[in-house]
Structure 1
Amino acid sequence: MPSDDAATRLANIRDGIARAAKTASRDPADITLIAISKTHDADAIRPLIDAGQRVFGENRVQEAAAKWPELRETTSDIELHLVGQLQSNKAEEAVTLFDAIHSVDRPSLVKALAAAMDKTGRRPACFIQVNIGEEDQKGGCAIADLPGLLAEARAAGLPVAGLMCVPPLDLEPAPWFALLAKLARDHDVTGLSMGMSSDYEAGIWLGATHVRVGTALFGARD
């Protein structure tokens, strides 16, 4: 992606965030743009870094480990978020590499992350992923299991930053975002990781603190 294209795309998304925030009477500074760089190599990522983007998201620990240490050598203030499913046996590697983990969804992972944090001394922010549409193929804890999982995460000392969801495909996302926002209020959680390239404005209108934008920044994936 040429640098000017990257800068233009980034400016357009930031403008969109600002407009959505204004509509919702919110401060755009309270919304973190996570550039989802999964499947994109370092050469595709650098133009966005050069354009000023500092927060990036990856789906897989192994893929992130292969490209981000080198990228971070030249830009030290990068913040890296894991937005994909995490296997418990990868917890220590994830804790070492990432600054935030958006896919905490089961007690076994809570235990693995707590042990990894104690061992490494690193404490990435944790979002509890909720299977908001109760879809069999998606990760996330069931809505009914959220109170128990939050209690376990807090008891284990995880830094619980918020909730995350991926709404059902091809359905209006706003009701699902509203439901996640209600769950956050009910459980005294402030962070809301919700909204992607096609629906981040709706996420912001309904309280998103983190939006996860990939295609609109990088173009369609192969």
Structure 2
Amino acid sequence: MFGFFKKKVQAGPLTERQIVAVEPPQPSFLKKVWQRVDSASPLSDDLLRARLAEAVAWCDALQSLDDLRAGTLRPSRFHDGPEDVDVCELGHNRQRQLHDRKLPVDYQSPVVTTGRFMLYFPDENLSDGYAEIVSRGFFDVDNLPAYDTWVSLVPEDGSPRMSGRRCLLCYVPASMIELADAGIEGNPESCIEWLDRLNLPVRPRVQALTCPTSRRWILR
């Protein structure tokens, strides 16, 4: 079963934790987390928070690069993107694995993070392969972050419809930040970038739903 906890957090980095048991989300809610959203409606904060929580719980439990791209998570087929169907299938698979492995997930706000968020812009990708080499495989030849880290596709302009560039929000665990940063710094087309360096509507949404434990990665 999932583990559920509620944390009392002071402003800024996590400085105090008061952990008390809370009721787990209803199965009906968990089923909705990775359902495809109507293109005319934005993803609600409750659903985005749940996606963030599950991605953080999974990625923070990874021990090394060798744990990336678990076969049990892999979407059945990749589209040119990836597309929302790939992200939702990945999310369903990850949610099931979190349950089977009894990894605790904190669905309460804010989601406490030790890593860093990044965005991938598939429409800008040139498939040069450099990021794959310098990140030791964290990115693939198409500069796509390992699917374990995917959180959600988000619209660049904040509108419900994907009218601008497609953006894939990802969570990089603390142990892999240096490798991911090497790939980002050497990426000529800027199709991968840290969220805290971008002024996009998704940034304040993630900021409101998460609490970084290091001042270095606080989204201001």
| TM-score of the superposed pair, with normalisation by structure 2 | 0.28
Higher RCO, Cα 8 Å, sep 6+: 2
Higher helix share: 1
